[in-house]
Structure 1
Amino acid sequence: MSAVARRYAQAVFELAREESKLPKVVDDLTAIAAAYQSSSDFRDVELLPGLTEDDRSGVVETIAREAGAGDLAVRTVSMLAARKRLAILPDLVEQLAELADEALGVLRAEVSSAKPLDSAYRSRLQKKIEEATGKKVVMSFTEDPDLIAGIVTKIGDRVVDGSLRGKLSELAESLRQT
């Protein structure tokens, strides 16, 4: 992640917190960044010859407003476009989300399972993680048939591997060392 993206994220974070709009700004910029990443036309706004700083800024501002973004998010992407820095938007959003999570006492957990997990299991797992950490947990779930059975949970930089694949790997490693 670039130092420039971190500086912009810190500035947006402080403004959003002052305005008591942190979750809204994070959501708005996340949606705009997703649109930026999925649309080559959006990404090419900076490259179009003959567009002035005001033109670039205006085009991006229109896109953001049509997406329902609030004023701070609109001003942020408009400024990035004017300065030809839209490419840092995904990194800015990632850093901003981390700052917001920390400020709001939120942890993000990624859970991979061999098969789909039912909602009751998901709720129990979320509750256990919240009890263990004392923080609100936002969960995301993916399926990975290579796990064979069980789950792998990633919370920040910590990974808890409760999968059969993980257990078999541990067993194979211990057999190699004997």
Structure 2
Amino acid sequence: MENSGGIQASLSGRYATALFGLARDEKALDAVSASLATLKAALADSDDLRKLTTSPVVSRAQATKAVAAAASVMGIDPLTTKFLGVLAQNRRLGQLGATIRAFGQLAAAHRGETTAEVTSAHPLTATQVKALKAKLKTELAREVAVELTVDPSILGGLIVKIGSRQIDGSIRSKLNTLAIAMKG
């Protein structure tokens, strides 16, 4: 398994690499990926889950029980449930979001895909996502998985990050460039 030094160097990257290795060995990559997607959505939607993962006052035992109960309710696969227990025991639940992102990058690389982080002012439709993937596939000559984020502050357009490369087509950026040009 080839990993970039950046993923392995971070704490969340080491956890993601360990989970990825276990999931690959147990032929559970799809199940773990689906469970992590569910967790990512739950972290975005649930204040209680976010508080659980970031609160320093929650004990290891309480965190372990809470994540086991939450995983059961969400239908998380057994390997990911055990992984959440390890994070809770090691007081690393705060790394969950970064670990999910790193796992996604590892899984995409394993599938021969490149991951593009796409930020838009409004949620993209399925048709727009399909067209964007097709355009990126043509540009990069490989499959592209997109990770979508909505940020109304960019006003319109898209910001696409692929590795260290960024394409900023946001209206906010264009207005800032225009304002600088007008100042002379």
Normalized against structure 2, the TM-score is what?
A: 0.68
Higher mean Cα deviation, 16-25 or 117-126?
117-126
Deviations for 1:38-60, whole angstroms, at most 9, x for unmatched residues? 315634787346x7x4x643332
Q: Residue 139 of structure 2 aligns to which amino acid in structure 1?
A: A
For 1:88 and 1:141, locate their aligned partners in 2 and report how far apart those are by CA, in whole Å. Answer: 19
Paired position in structure 2 for 1:85: 92
Cα 1:96–1:171 change in 2 (3 A) is: same
Q: Residue 47 of structure 1 aligns to which amino acid in structure 2?
A: V
Q: Which runs of 5+ in 2 are unaligned?
A: 1-6
Identical columns (%):
28
Query: What number of residue pairs does the alignment pair up?
Result: 172
For 1:13 and 1:61, locate their aligned partners in 2 and report how far apart those are by CA, in whole Å. Answer: 20
Which of 28, 32, 39 is the aligned partner of 1:32?
Answer: 39
Displacement after TM superposition at 1:152 (Å) = 3.9
Q: Residue 52 of structure 2 aligns to which amino acid in structure 1?
A: F
CA RMSD of aligned residues (A): 3.7
Rg larger in structure: 1
Q: Which runs of 5+ in 1 are unaligned?
A: none
- Verify the 8 A CA contact 1:9 1:93 in the aligned structure 2: yes
Higher mean Cα deviation, 19-28 or 39-48?
39-48
For 1:48 and 1:118, locate their aligned partners in 2 and report how far apart those are by CA, in whole Å. Answer: 39
For 1:115 and 1:66, locate their aligned partners in 2 and report how far apart those are by CA, in whole Å. Answer: 30
